Structures are given as structure tokens and as C-alpha cells.
Structure 1
Amino acid sequence: MKMTVDFEECLKDSPRFRAALEEVEGDVAELELKLDKLVKLCIAMIDTGKAFCVANKQFMNGIRDLAQYSSNDTVVETSLTKFSDSLQEMINFHTILFDQTQRSIKAQLQNFVKEDLRKFKDAKKQFEKVSEEKENALVKNAQVQRNKQHEVEEATNILTATRKCFRHIALDYVLQINVLQSKRRSEILKSMLSFMYAHLAFFHQGYDLFSELGPYMKDLGAQLDRLVVDAAKEKREMEQKHSTIQQKVLEGRTKGD
């Protein structure tokens, strides 16, 4: 585990230690903002996705209504029903994807923010408090009159106890910082990896679904090609019939005239 703040410098309470603290605290504050933003974007994405599923389901119902309306045409009814069933499966896959996204991004990162970053903040508050107490003890010890032995001993004892407490809390704070800095990498990557695997599963499911549907679509496409040819032939025949009848009508009018 890479330590971002040195324990030895912590015990010295050196300027280097304070500078490292300032840098880390600023970095963690920015990290929290980035994670909060990502979680909010994730929530918005999930809500939009759910709205898409609702609209898509309504569209599927429209396809089914059209299929029922076309009950006298077996090809149309069968095709529309089969397609609507497949698209309904895709909606189900989307729903699963959104649920997994909520667990992998929203829940996991929110937990990291609420638990790990909260521990960091609590440790920071304790450190700031004991730092202030140490500074007060130093000031009091410096201001005490040296000819008053009792006050000197009291100030010295307070300073010694405060320094001891400071070292203890400072070490805990540094440990919390270093653990957080190490854990943030695994938590972020674990969350994103889970998110990407959810998409991998989603596209695999879609691929498998349409692989099964593919042969039927291919056969239907061949039928449509034949239907287009037949329709063109039928159109020519109707146009020819129309022309013949129209010609007869014109000839009849001419004779009548």
C-alpha cells in the first residue's frame, strides 16, 4: 500500500507533514465532489432508462394491438407477435441492466462516500481538535512564569499529555488517510468493472436473442422479396385491366355518341 502521508513526519508534526495533509485533504474533498456528481448522473441515467422502458412497453402494446387487428393475415399477425415478444425481452434486459447499474455505481459508490469518506472526515475533525489543544498547550506553556514552579509543572504536564494525545490521534488520522487513498482505487475500479460486466451481459443477451430470431427474420425477408415481386406483377396486371376497362368505356361512349 502506497502511503501518501509519512508516519514519521506525522510524529514530528513537521511542515512537510502539514503540507502533505493539506494536499491530501484538498484531494479528498475534490474526490467527494466527483463521486457525488457521478452518483447523481447515474441516478438521472437510471431514471431516464426506466422512462424509456415504460415508453418502449407502450410501443410494444401498440404492436400487439396491430397484430390482433391483423388476425386475418397470418404472416403479419405471427411476425408482429414474434417481434413484440422479442422486443419485450429486450426491455427485460434493459431493466436488469438498470438494476445492476444501480448496485454497481449508485449503491457501491454512495456507500464508499457515506462510510469511508465519513470515517476520514471524523478522523479529520478529531485531528483538528487535538491540534488546536496542542497549540493552546504550547502557548500556555510559553506564557507561564518560570518562577512559579507549580504553574510550570502544571503547564508542562498538560503539554506532555496533549502531545501524547496528539501523536495518538495524528497516527490514527494518517492511517485513515493512507487506507482511504489505497481503497479508493479498488472501490472505483471495482464499481466500474461491475458496470462494464453488466453491459457485457446485456449485449450478450441481446446477441443471443437476435441470433435465435435471425433465421426467422431472414425467412421473412425472403418472403417479402417474393411479395414485392408478386405485388409488382399484380400491380401491372391491375393497371392493364384498368386500362382495358377504361378503353372499353371510352369505346362504348364513342359508339353511343
Structure 2
Amino acid sequence: MLDDFLVRAVLGAVGVALAAAPLGSFVVWRRMAYFGDATAHAGILGVALALALNVPVMAGTLAVALAMALLVARLSGRGYGSDMLLGVTSHTALALGLVAASLVAGARLDLNAFLFGDILSVGKDDLVVIWGGGALVWALLLWRWQSLLTATVSPDLAWASGIDPKREERVLILALAVVVAVAIKVVGALLIGAMLIIPAAAARSLARTPEQMALAAGGLGVLAGLGGLWGAWEFDTPAGPSIVCAAAAIFAVSLLFRKG
């Protein structure tokens, strides 16, 4: 069954959606949208370094995305304006990645595939990475769920409960870097942020509890992935952007259910 490229594409889209959408709930609650973009843009630099050092692309992407996220988190607590800092790091990381990719000698690199995704070329090894990374993200979220929620609602309450908000932030940063690493081939660095935010934003109108929102975000993310693939197949459009367009359409429909 996995010899069919379309089946692999579907499994890749579903795996990325299940990994990204529930994590996106915390991104929405914490208003970390631009933080997610900065981490995703760093993924391009990770791809270039992986090719230069002849290591797996996921390893390079994960390392650089994690380093970028930790750097931004550390600088944010030292008096730098978050909007300014994220703007500088996001665009710098993307530009450095593009320049580094052009300098990698002998590398046959299709930048469009990593910028906008190339889900139709997902192979069996990629599926192992995607689903393995998704399982790791879910394990982290389930393990730290209550602590993450408490730290998100109120850092002061978290301290009073014996929970270190900074530690929980590092757990989220690790999960975010994993999602970037597994999703970059499916939707691309420029669109990962959309798959984190849009399904979660749509689920917000449909859920009454944090748990319901995370599960609904996962379901809507899968629906967007399948709908985007269908649209790409039917209308011969790029798969990654088509998936994001499907997610945006779902969000538009969800506004009809928004209360107040």
C-alpha cells in the first residue's frame, strides 16, 4: 500500500496535522504565533547545515530550530521587545538559511520543496520520521499536560503549585522544534506556522475545555490536510499551500459558530 505515492502523501499530511494542531493550541493560548514562525524559518538553515555536514535533514532541522527557539526565549527575558526580537530573528534565520543553501557545494537542493513543502515526494522513511516525531510530541504533551496548562493560565499560580514555568516553556520549545523538523517536507518552512495556528484557532469556537480544543484542533488539522490534498489533486495546485487554504476555509466556517 505504501508504494502508492498518494497514500504516502495522505499519511504524511495526517501525521503532520496530528502533531502540529494540538501543540498549536498552546501556541494560540500563549500568543506565540510569531515565535512559531521564527522557529520554522530557522528550519531552512538546518536543512542547509545538514546537507553541508552530510547528516540527516531532520537532525539538522531539529538542532537549528531548537537552538533558535531557545535563543529567542532567553533573549525575550532580558528586556528586548518581543515583536522586535521575533521580527529580527525570523527574517535573519530565513535569509541565512537561503544563503547557506546556495553555498553548499554540490548540493542539489530544491528550495521550493523546503519553503512550501513537497508532500507528494514523501517516502517511507519520511513517514517513519513524521509519525515518530508526532508520537514524541503527543507523549510530551500528555506527560506535561496539567503543568503546561497551569503555567499557561498563570505563571504565579504555577510557582505556587510547585511548577517551574520556565521548565514548561522549554518542553513546549522542544515540542515545537520537533514539529518543525517533521513538517518541513510536507508543508514547508513558510507554512508550518499556519498549520500550528489555524486549526487551533478554528477549534477554539467549537470547544468548551482545553482538552476538547486540542482534540478538535487535531481533527480539523487532519480535515484540512485531506481537503488540501484533494484540492491539489483536483485542481493541479501546490499541495502545501492547498492544505493551508483548506485550513483557512475551515477557520472561516468556524466563525459561524463563534459565540459573542
Normalising by structure 2, report the TM-score. 0.23
Q: Which has the higher helix share?
A: 1
Normalising by structure 1, report the TM-score. 0.23
The higher relative CO (CA closer than 8 Å, separation ≥ 6) is in 2
